[in-house]
Structure 1
Amino acid sequence: MAKKKAAAPKASAKLQIRSWIETFDIGKELKAKNEMTGFVYFLGADDSNKLQGLVEEHALAWQMESIKKNDKDFNYFVGLQGPVWILRPKGKNSVGHDGLLDEATYTWARDQFGSLVPHFKANQLKALRIEFFGTERAQELGALVGLDMAPYNYRQFVDGKHLADMPKVSLIKSSEDFDKALIKEASVRARAVTLARHLVNMPPNDLNPKTFAEMATKKLPFGKNLKVTVWDDRKLASEKMGLHLSVGMGATHGPRMVHMKYRPTKKSGLKPIAFVGKGITFDTGGLDIKPSSAMRLMKKDMGGAASVIALALWASESQYPGPLDFYLALAENAVDANAFRPGDIVTARNGMKVEIDNTDAEGRLVLADVLDVACKQKGSDDPEFVIDVATLTGAIKVGLGAEIAGLFANDDDLANELTKAGQRAGDLNWRMPLFDKYWGDLSSPFADCKNSGGGFGGAITAALFLQKFVGGKKWAHLDVYAWADRANGAIGSSGGSGQPVQCLIEFLESRV
């Protein structure tokens, strides 16, 4: 008798990102018997007396003298009852630049507490007591976000073992009750960052324009205050989005545009803000094919779209009080007989004719048509600002490295708000010039412009290209890396970094 084939496992209806900090016992003493227990103390200020008191409570006699002499902001020892970590921010001198690159109190706490999570695992802790002394709200939020971000690991997540090896926790704040609303705020923020990281980490044989669009329509737990619309290749053609279509012509799964329209339940006096994310789910470079070394990480070329959909999830879960629109410009830049070619002339949605100079300058093409859609909304949907996020150029990474996004903007106030938000959130960006003279590098004798220019100033010419499609709207462009080459701070494993989700959350929160 023939054996029956095993039924294929059913895919989960929703992509659920569990929160560790929401399992904490708030304000309750730790109940642990015969279990490996750890203790974490966060001194909000440089309190030497409190430090010495904690050392006397926990340290062995032979440890006390050396620990008390330690003037660092991080103390670790294994004491009478188990491992002990004592953190106290000592403050640092400004590096200049009007403080815009200085480490914020939120950032210090986030990365210090995030870096503790591997220690908890290494010590195989089953229980943990965390106590805050004299801390401020920003420090507490940072610590909680760091604790919630750091456990994420792609393999454990897909294997269903996320948080399986994390200890039970008692969280206490001295002298007053802990604000439980802060737990929710930190959890929603951390989940958004983790979602962006996870999407970037997904392999390109799983995440393509079709399945990415399904993330928005079927897989994510958006509330009723967010409506999702998907434009397939037929709709893109009817909208005359020739640039977007051209990039995805060589792929099995055609391009998509996803629009997530968030409107708060209560009437708001704020105008909408539109966010547009580049979503190239894999970038071969097209017919101008990349070398293998440059193609290795190109599953991350949808990092901009990942951050935008993560921001949409944050807005929906946190019940943001203002109207927001989120757009994903999705395509796969593949090599095929149908792929677009150098020398092709393609007409954009706004009527501009663009000569394809390089098929590996594809991100700006999908963004251009979708920016035109976002900027031409009418009436109450007319956006006050439009902000795009893209892993657009290698040139910006050469100049600013992996952790600082390049910021281009046609409005000084908007640029200043974003840079300050990035500093407060530990998700930095730095403003670069929209030097219009470089537009000449994109001139073409056959069309209105080319899609790429010479070797110098590549990040600037890319931004100048995008500016032609915003129709005079107040606009900002973030050129990001979206990847962590190694574990660091609250990023507990290499891979997607979630850049610039925290910056954009801070930017939106500062407006209300």
Structure 2
Amino acid sequence: MQYAIKNSTSIIKQKEECLVVTVNSDKTQSNLIRELDQSTNDMISQLINSGDISGELGKTTFLYVTPNSTKQKILVVGCGQGKNFDINAAKKVIQAAIKELTTKKVKNICWDILTLNPAISGEIAKQLPQITSDLTYSFDQFKSTKSKQPSLQKITLLYSDKQTINHVESQLFQGQIIADAITSTKNIANMPSNVCNAKYLAEESESLGKQYINLKVTCLGEKELAKLNMNAYLAVGRGSANESIMTVIEYHGAKDKKAKPYVLVGKGLTFDSGGISIKPSASMDEMKYDMCGAATVFGVMQAVAELKLPINVVGVMAGCENMPDGNSYRPGDILTTMSGTTVEIINTDAEGRLVLCDVLTYVERFQPKAVIDIATLTGACIIALGHHYTGVMGNNSQLIEELVNSSNKAGDKAWSLPIDSDFQEQIKSTCADIVNASGRDGGTITAACFLSRFTEKYQWAHLDIAGTAWKSGANKGATGRPVAMLIQYLLDQK
């Protein structure tokens, strides 16, 4: 998809196949609508007055034949009351328009949406590529009959404010990069587990490193992990025929190459059967999505390299597979982690925290400015926050606040949950330092409490994306969240 911004105050002078214009539900209309009305012999105003064109938010009217000389198609989209047109209304307008344009197989358009509310033009420009990419995305590489490519090829946006056009163009550019990063995350997350294992994650990362010379990729297999005493990580993968591999992607964009980096750690369980504590068969196919944290790290690192951010960032993908086997770890086992903390295994299906705890110890070597782990960690997070919000917990209130603020700016919602001593009591063990599972009560928080034991040497936040990383049912597939949130957070650190 191509995007462009054209500095113009006229809609009728544009030569694109289709003109997309917005109308208000109140009586006041924009200068562009009035211009278009005059060029069509008052046809637009007549259709508005008759009710055939509605200004109701998200309502669309497609006009094929108009009495103007250009003979262009016109898509009219309602935007509600002009005074109430905010970014949420803009998103609904974009969704409605893109769906209609796709249905009508339009190839290129000229659109007035940036002119509706100058105060949010930058936000609209940033959201447009992301929404368009999401609506036109398909994952069909394993289908014998491929989906047809979306007909829409180019979107030209009108904008006439010369003082702010550079800012809006920059936001549009960022939006395109974020959209591409989300697509990459979706593509990896949607891969079946017989293709996407830890080796696949490592190979995709190595390919990314070859594509962007500002990325350095290092892959550590089981021999290297054993030398590091990452025994909890290794225990989870013992029952799998596929090797556990930790992939480290380094980006040094700061002037001081030794400046403390922001570190992202992604849970990469390419399939989670539950191990000996095996899961019920219903919906077990969705456990290929248990590596969405690692897929998120991949997408974010791609965007960081593309944006050339002036900071240092390290992304770690903790690739692993949890399978039942004669060599699998068992309930009742006691593991000694890389940090020396011992863990009593209560449930082998609480495996993500075991993989992450060793990686969180490993990343101490980078002397991080902040560490953020991303994991489809607990079903309890879905009970707490549904599929709407990513859960945020951590040991630094400022970091948590910054992440929540970035999520709001990105339209990728997150909500903070507490970690305190009352919850910490729940993970005590009678025969080891801590247990890896403590029952259903406060399950999302106690999982974060477990991780907190390994993050005392730096500022840390944990993102539980179990409810937001993928959709079930007829629309089953990865969402690409929270890529936009994390990119926005890193943009805010410049």
Q: Same fold (TM over 0.5)?
A: yes
Once the two structures are TM-superposed, the CA of residue 92 in structure 1 deviates from its matched residue by: 9.6
Q: Is residue 2:419 matched to residue 1:434?
A: yes
Distance 1:143 1:438, change over 3 A: same
Once the two structures are TM-superposed, the CA of residue 130 in structure 1 deviates from its matched residue by: 2.2
What is the aligned partner in structure 1 of residue 189 from structure 2? 200
Once the two structures are TM-superposed, the CA of residue 115 in structure 1 deviates from its matched residue by: 4.5
Q: Is residue 2:464 matched to residue 1:506?
A: no
Distance 1:47 1:309, change over 3 A: farther
Q: Is residue 2:46 matched to residue 1:65?
A: no
Contact 2:424 2:449 (C-alpha < 8 Å) held by counterparts: yes
1:215 to 165, 181, 204: 204
3-state secondary structure, aligned to 1:48 = coil
Residues 335-354 of structure 1 mapped to structure 2, 5 A cutoff = 335-354=324-343
Partner Cα separation in structure 2 for residue 286 and residue 52 of structure 1: 62
Once the two structures are TM-superposed, the CA of residue 269 in structure 1 deviates from its matched residue by: 9.1
3-state secondary structure, aligned to 1:477 = strand
1:415 to 400, 405, 409: 400
Structure 2, gaps ≥5 residues long: 67-71
Q: Using CA pairs below 8 Å that are at least 6 residues apart, which structure has the higher relative contact order?
A: 1
Once the two structures are TM-superposed, the CA of residue 308 in structure 1 deviates from its matched residue by: 1.0
2:470 maps to a residue whose letter is W
Once the two structures are TM-superposed, the CA of residue 275 in structure 1 deviates from its matched residue by: 0.7
Partner Cα separation in structure 1 for residue 325 and residue 147 of structure 2: 39
Partner Cα separation in structure 2 for residue 159 and residue 353 of structure 1: 49
Distance 1:282 1:498, change over 3 A: same
Q: Is residue 2:438 matched to residue 1:453?
A: yes
Alignment length (residue pairs): 469
2:350 to 361, 379, 397: 361
Partner Cα separation in structure 1 for residue 77 and residue 210 of structure 2: 37
Once the two structures are TM-superposed, the CA of residue 336 in structure 1 deviates from its matched residue by: 1.3
Partner Cα separation in structure 2 for residue 116 and residue 270 of structure 1: 45
Partner Cα separation in structure 1 for residue 221 and residue 148 of structure 2: 37
* Residues 313-344 of structure 1: CA deviation (Å, up to 9, x unaligned): 11001101001111111101111111111111
1:133 maps to a residue whose letter is T
What is the aligned partner in structure 2 of residue 315 from structure 1? 304
Partner Cα separation in structure 2 for residue 360 and residue 190 of structure 1: 33
What is the aligned partner in structure 2 of residue 406 from structure 1? 391
Once the two structures are TM-superposed, the CA of residue 510 in structure 1 deviates from its matched residue by: 1.4
1:85 to 62, 70, 76: 76
What is the aligned partner in structure 2 of residue 296 from structure 1? 285
What is the aligned partner in structure 2 of residue 127 from structure 1? 108
Once the two structures are TM-superposed, the CA of residue 225 in structure 1 deviates from its matched residue by: 1.5
1:287 to 266, 271, 276: 276
Distance 1:157 1:112, change over 3 A: farther
TM-score scaled to structure 1, two decimals?
A: 0.83
What is the aligned partner in structure 1 of residue 69 from structure 2? none
Structure 1, gaps ≥5 residues long: 1-19, 94-103, 488-492
1:326 to 303, 308, 315: 315
1:85 maps to a residue whose letter is V
TM-score scaled to structure 2, two decimals?
A: 0.86
1:483 maps to a residue whose letter is W
Contact 2:7 2:160 (C-alpha < 8 Å) held by counterparts: no
1:48 maps to a residue whose letter is T
Contact 1:151 1:162 (C-alpha < 8 Å) held by counterparts: no
Partner Cα separation in structure 2 for residue 84 and residue 69 of structure 1: 10
What is the aligned partner in structure 1 of residue 294 from structure 2? 305
Contact 2:275 2:324 (C-alpha < 8 Å) held by counterparts: yes
Contact 1:249 1:338 (C-alpha < 8 Å) held by counterparts: yes
What is the aligned partner in structure 2 of residue 118 from structure 1? 99
1:499 maps to a residue whose letter is R
Contact 1:280 1:301 (C-alpha < 8 Å) held by counterparts: yes
Partner Cα separation in structure 2 for residue 411 and residue 246 of structure 1: 30
3-state secondary structure, aligned to 2:229 = coil
Distance 1:61 1:503, change over 3 A: closer
Contact 2:48 2:54 (C-alpha < 8 Å) held by counterparts: no
Contact 1:109 1:142 (C-alpha < 8 Å) held by counterparts: no
3-state secondary structure, aligned to 1:342 = coil
What is the aligned partner in structure 2 of residue 8 from structure 1? none
Once the two structures are TM-superposed, the CA of residue 117 in structure 1 deviates from its matched residue by: 2.8
What RMSD, in angstroms, separates the aligned Cα atoms of the two structures?
A: 3.0
3-state secondary structure, aligned to 2:157 = strand
2:279 maps to a residue whose letter is K
* Residues 446-497 of structure 1: CA deviation (Å, up to 9, x unaligned): 211110012211011100000001133111001013013479xxxxx64111
2:370 to 382, 385, 410: 385
Once the two structures are TM-superposed, the CA of residue 411 in structure 1 deviates from its matched residue by: 1.0
2:235 to 238, 241, 246: 246
What is the aligned partner in structure 2 of residue 495 from structure 1? 477
Partner Cα separation in structure 1 for residue 222 and residue 393 of structure 2: 30
1:49 to 1, 4, 29: 29
Residues 89-104 of structure 1 mapped to structure 2, 5 A cutoff = 90=81
Partner Cα separation in structure 2 for residue 416 and residue 265 of structure 1: 24
3-state secondary structure, aligned to 1:154 = coil
Once the two structures are TM-superposed, the CA of residue 151 in structure 1 deviates from its matched residue by: 1.6
2:276 maps to a residue whose letter is L
Deviation larger for 290-299 or 412-421: 290-299
Partner Cα separation in structure 1 for residue 125 and residue 108 of structure 2: 20
